[in-house]
Amino acid sequence: MMQVVQEVRTGRTRVRTIPDPLAGPGQVVVGTTASLISAGTERYVVDLAKKSLVGKARARPDQVRRVLEKVRQEGLLTTFTQVMAKLDEPMPLGYSSSGVVLECGRGVQEFKLATELPAQARMPASSACPGTSVRESRTA
C-alpha cells in the first residue's frame, strides 16, 4: 500500500510503501475510493517541516514548553534522544477519505462488507492511494 509522508527533519515529501492493514477487534479495513490531502492542514505541516530546528521551535512554542518540561522531568539526554527520534519519524499526510468496507474485525456489527462510508484515518495507514486500504478504528 502507498502512503504520502512528510519527513519532519528534512522537509521532504515522499511516497512510501507500507504493509496492508489488518482489521483488529472493533476495526474495519476500508478500501479507499477517494482521498483528500487538505491544502490548509497539510500545507502547514509541509511548511513547518521545511523550517530549521530553530524555525520549528519558533513556530511551535507549545512544543518547546513540552520539551522543556520533559527536560525537567526526565533529563536532557533522554529528552534529546526522544526529540531526535520524533524528528526522524515520517508524518503521514492526509486524513479524509471514503471507500468501501473490505474486512470487519471481531465484534464489528455496525458495518458489513461492501458498505460505503466516509473514513477519517487515524491509524498508520492514512494517506492511502485510491484502491488501497485504510485501517479505520470504529467502536463495535
> Residue 129: which pLDDT band, with cuts at 50, 70 and 90?
very low
pLDDT digits (tens, 9 = 90+) for 31-65: 888 887 778 888 888 999 999 999 999 999 999 99
Give the C-alpha distances (Å, rounded to integers) separating 72 from 60, 64, 65, 68, 87: 19, 13, 11, 6, 20
Largest CA-CA distance found in the chain, in angstroms, rounded = 51
Name the more confident of 139 and 111.
111
Q: Give yes or no for residue 136 having a pLDDT over 90.
A: no
What CA dihedral angle connects 63, 8, 47 and 118, to 10 degrees?
A: -90
Other Cβ atoms within 10 Å of 23 Cβ, number: 20
pTM over 0.85: no
